[in-house]
């Protein structure tokens, strides 16, 4: 089988810690080229991972006859780079947040659909068995019509968003460190909402199929330039209500918290990734509780890059499609607009 030719636009902390090493070891992948700004680091990445082509101009990269492009550039240029790759006819895996603006997110979704290209956003939790089981229960209709949702996330990321720029200890890379401008610069999409809450929001919208309609929100940034805390109330299409919150300030070394509770006309589903709990309780007396390993909800992002390759090869299922990611983007976009307006009710679309 001909190897899948993959190019990278962006090669910073997360790309060099996760995506590039994983794809470099994949037997069906040829790492065809890499693009990033900063010639010294570009050449260091090229040498370390064996890219035959390296450039600071992404147009030059896209001219290399690629099958797929991985976009791991700073948040505020995801749209520009992903759009260019799709227009070039490449399948795209673009890091979260997919874009910063709702209209840009849906433009990428529509562009991929029109050109019959795969658009994958590497939400690692959506590839975990615990979450597949939760989605199976919801798709079966065990909770009935969804009427209320609670979604909370917290991370040990205070330094990443508010201080030294260091990543969580369990994700530290030795090759390169995060660029503080990406995580602590408001105009570049810095802050907890775009940088972390997008994980929980992406999971929520993928699990439920809901779409936010109206958001009222507040954020706060104690001793920081970007948001460390988020609190939003949501009205979804169909009338379901929701509460979504995020906190960047778990102490270092703490496990990530994601707790999603879904209440419906026939019962409720409880999903707690920190404590590896998945349970369904129904009004007819039925109770389903999964027996799970303690680390069943631990985060990893090993599966999305491999799945991207499979999709290009014509097999596999996209468990983190652009459509669900776009619903996360439009919710966070509206949440931040509402917060900037003092908590005013803000239409999502």
Count of beta carbons in the 10 Å neighbourhood of residue 114: 9
Q: Are 339 and 191 in contact (CB under 8 A)?
A: no
pLDDT digit string (tens) for 74-125? 999 999 999 999 999 999 999 999 999 999 999 999 999 999 999 999 999 9
Question: CB within 8 A of 90, min separation 6: which ones?
Answer: 7, 62, 66, 67, 68, 69, 117
Share of the chain above pLDDT 70, in %: 98
For residue 1, the model assigns a pLDDT of 60
Domain 4-123 class in CATH: alpha beta
Could you tell me the two tokens for 338? Answer: 């509402």
Question: CA torsion angle for 324, 229, 133, 209 (degrees, to 10)?
Answer: -30
All structural domains of the chain with their residue ranges: 4-123, 125-299+321-347
> Which of the residue ranges 28-32, 109-113, 251-255, 301-305 would you say has the lowest mean pLDDT?
251-255
Please, which pLDDT band fits residue 170 given cuts at 50, 70 and 90?
A: low
Q: Work out the average pLDDT over 142-159.
A: 97
pLDDT at 158 over 60: yes
* Reported confidence tier of residue 242, pLDDT bands at 50, 70, 90: very high
pLDDT for res 167: 76
Closest CA to 348 of 242, 264, 263: 242
We find that the CATH architecture of domain 125-299+321-347 is 2-Layer Sandwich (3.30)
pTM of the entire structure?
0.96
* Lowest-confidence segment of 182-186, 203-207, 273-277 by average pLDDT: 182-186
What span, in angstroms and rounded, lies between the C-alpha atoms of 67 and 90? 5
- SS3 sequence, the chain? CCCEEEEEECCCHHHHHHHHHHHHCCCCEEEEEEECCCHHHHHHHHHHHCCCCEECCHHHHHCCCCCEEEECCCHHHHHHHHHHHHHCCCEEEECCCCCCCHHHHHHHHHHHHHCCCCEECCCHHHHCHHHHHHHHHHHCCCCCCEEEEEEEEECECHHHHHCCCCCCHHHCCCCCCCCHHHHHCHHHCCCHHHHHHHHHHHHHHHHHCCCEEEEEEEEECCCCCCCCEEEEEEEECCCCEEEEEEECECCCCCCCEEEEEEEECCEEEEEECCCCEEEEEECCCCEEECCCCCCCCCCCCCHHHHHHHHHHCCCCCCCCEHHHHHHHHHHHHHHHHHHHCCCCCEECC
């Amino acid at each position: 089988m001909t190897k899948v030719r993959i190019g990278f636009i962006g090669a910073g902390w997360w790309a060099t810690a996760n995506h590039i090493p994983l794809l470099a070891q994949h037997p069906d992948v040829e790492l065809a080229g890499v693009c990033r700004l900063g010639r010294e680091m570009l050449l260091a990445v090229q040498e370390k991972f064996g890219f035959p082509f390296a450039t600071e101009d992404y147009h030059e990269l896209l001219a290399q006859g690629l099958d797929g492009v991985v976009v791991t550039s700073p948040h505020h240029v995801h749209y520009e780079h992903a759009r260019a790759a799709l227009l070039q006819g490449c399948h795209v895996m673009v890091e979260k947040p997919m874009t910063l603006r709702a209209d840009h997110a849906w433009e990428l979704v529509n562009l991929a659909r029109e050109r019959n290209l795969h658009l994958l956003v590497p939400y690692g939790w959506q590839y975990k068995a615990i979450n597949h089981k939760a989605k199976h229960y919801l798709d079966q209709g065990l909770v009935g019509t969804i009427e209320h949702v609670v979604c909370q996330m917290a991370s040990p990321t205070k330094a990443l968003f508010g201080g030294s720029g260091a990543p969580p200890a369990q994700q530290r890379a030795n090759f390169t460190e995060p660029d503080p401008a990406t995580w602590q610069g408001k105009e570049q999409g810095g802050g907890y909402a775009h940088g972390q809450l997008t994980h929980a929001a992406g999971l929520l919208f993928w699990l439920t199929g809901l779409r936010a309609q109206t958001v009222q929100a507040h954020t706060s940034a104690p001793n920081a330039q970007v948001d460390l805390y988020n609190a939003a109330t949501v009205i979804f299409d169909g009338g379901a209500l929701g509460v979504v919150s995020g906190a960047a300030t778990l102490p270092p070394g703490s496990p990530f918290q994601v707790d999603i509770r879904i209440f419906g006309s026939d019962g409720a589903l409880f999903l707690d990734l920190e404590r590896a709990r998945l349970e369904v309780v129904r009004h007819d007396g039925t109770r389903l509780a999964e027996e799970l390993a303690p680390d069943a909800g631990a985060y990893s992002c090993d599966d999305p890059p491999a799945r991207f390759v499979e999709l290009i090869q014509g097999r596999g299922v996209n468990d983190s499609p652009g459509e669900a990611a776009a619903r996360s983007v439009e919710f966070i976009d509206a949440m931040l607009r509402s917060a900037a307006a003092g908590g005013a009710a803000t239409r999502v679309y």
